[in-house]
A and B are shown apart, each in its own frame.
Chain A
Amino acid sequence: MSDLLNRLLRLRRGPWENLATIVIALGVLMLLQPLSLTLYTYSFATMLAGTLMFVIVSKFPE
C-alpha cells in the first residue's frame, strides 16, 4: 500500500493511468447501472474527471 502511495507521489505515468482508468470505468458503471438514480446523476462528473485525469497523466514520465 505504501509502495503504491510512493509511486503515486513520484508522479509516474503507470499508477496514475491505472487510477484514471478505474475512475472512468466507475463512471461508465454508474451511468449504466439500474439501481440508483443518484449514482446515475453523478456518473457524468465521474467520467469527465477520469477522462481529464487520463489526458493529463498520460503526459507524465514513465
Chain B
Amino acid sequence: MSMATTEDGTAGRIADQAARGTTPAIARRIRGLSDKAIAWLFIAPTILLLLAINIFPLIWTIYLSFTNYQANRPNRPITHVGTKWYQDILSSPDVWAAMQATAHFVFWTILLQTLIGFGLAYLIDRKFRGHAFWTTIILIPMMLSPAVVGNFWKFLYQPQMGLFNYIVSFFTGIEPSSFEMLGSVSLSPWSIIIVDTWMWTPYVMLICLAGLRSIPDYIYEAAEVDRASPLRQFWSITLPMALPFIMLAVLFRGIENFKMFDMVNLLTGGGPGSTTEVASITLKREAFEKWRTGYSSAFAIILFVAVFGLANIYVKALNRVKQR
C-alpha cells in the first residue's frame, strides 16, 4: 500500500515537472484535447514517416507496374499497359529459370543450415567444458557484414592462392588450380550455398538452442524412469518439442534467402552466364541495366506478394511458439 503511494507520488512529481517544462501556449492547446487525440498526436509523426518511406513507394510501384515508365527517360509520355508485364513475367522461361535458381539456393541453404545448426545446438546444449567460448566462436560469422564476407570469400575461392582450393586439394588430392569455384557453371551455385551456410548456420543454431533449452528437465527424468533409450528420447521428446523453433528458423531463413541479393552480387554477380542469377539479380538487371522500370516494378510486386505471404506464415508460426 505504502509502496503504491510512493510510486504514485514519484509519477505525480515527474508529471508536474513535465507540465512545468511545457510552455503555457502549448499546455493551453493540449489541455482541451482528449487522451485519444493526444495519443494520435504522438503517433502521427511515425505514421507519416511510414507512409512516406514504406506505403507510398509500394503504391507507386504497383502503379508503375501497369505502365511502360522508364526511369532513365522520365520525360517520355507514360502509357498504361494493363497486366502486360505480369503476363510477360509469368510466361517467361528466363524468369522461370531465375526462380529455379532461387529455389535451388533456398532449398540447399535451408537444408544444410537446419541440419548443421540443429546438430551444433544439440552439441552446445550438452554443456561441456568451454561451451560458452565455443558458442561465441561459432556466432562470429553471423556478426560480419555480408559485404565483408562476400569479399573475403572471393579471395578464399581464388584458384591460384585461395585457401579453399588448397583445403579441398589437401583432402582429395585434386590440383588446387584445376577447379574454379566462382567461374565454373556447375560449382558456382554451390560456392554461394557454402558461403551462406557458413554465415547463417549460427543463427539457426541460436534459435534451435533456444528451443532445446525450453524443454523442461522433468520430461527427460520421466523418460529415464520409463527406461527410454537416448535415441527414443531424441525422437519422442527433443525433436517434437524443438520442432516449432526449427520451423521458425526455416521460415526466417527461407524468407531471407528468397530475397538474397548482396552475397550473390558480390560473389558471382549472377554469372557465369546466368547460372547463379537468382530472382533479385534478374530484378536488378531489368531495373538498372535494361531500365525497364514498369516491367521490374511488376516483378518486384510478384516477389513482394511471395515474401508477404511467407511472412504471414512466419508470424503465425511465431504466435504458435509464443503460446507454448
Contact = CB atoms under 8 A, between A and B. Distances in A.
Contacts of B155: none
A27 to B, nearest CB: 7
Interface in A13-38: 17, 20-21, 24-25, 27-28, 31-34, 37
Interface residues of A, number: 23
Interface string B259-280: 0000000000000000000000
Contacts of B103: 32-34
A48 B71 CA distance: 27
A50 B302 contact: no
Contacts of A43: 90
Determine the main DSSP class of B at the interface with A.
Answer: helix
Contacts of B316: 17, 21
Interface in B131-155: none
A44 to B, nearest CB: 5
A45 to B, nearest CB: 9
Contact of B86 (A17, A32, A44): A44
Nearest to A36: B96
B90 A28 contact: no
Nearest to B103: A32
Contacts of A40: 90, 96, 99
Determine the main DSSP class of A at the interface with B.
Answer: helix
B48 interface: no
Interface in B66-106: 86, 90-91, 93, 96, 99-100, 102-103, 106
Interface stretch (B29-37, B117-125, B307-315): B307-315
B305 interface: yes
A21 B102 contact: no
A27 B91 contact: no
Contacts of A58: 312
B96 A37 contact: yes
A28 B102 contact: no
B306 interface: yes
Interface of B: 86, 90-91, 93, 96, 99-100, 102-103, 106, 302, 305-306, 308-310, 312-313, 316
Please name the 6 residue pairs, one residue from A and one from B, whose CB atoms are nearest each other, closest first: A32-B103, A24-B309, A51-B309, A54-B312, A41-B90, A34-B100
25 contacts: A20-B312, A24-B309, A24-B310, A24-B312, A25-B313, A28-B306, A31-B99, A31-B302, A32-B99, A33-B103, A34-B100, A34-B103, A37-B91, A40-B90, A40-B99, A41-B90, A41-B91, A44-B86, A44-B90, A44-B305, A51-B305, A51-B308, A54-B309, A54-B312, A55-B312
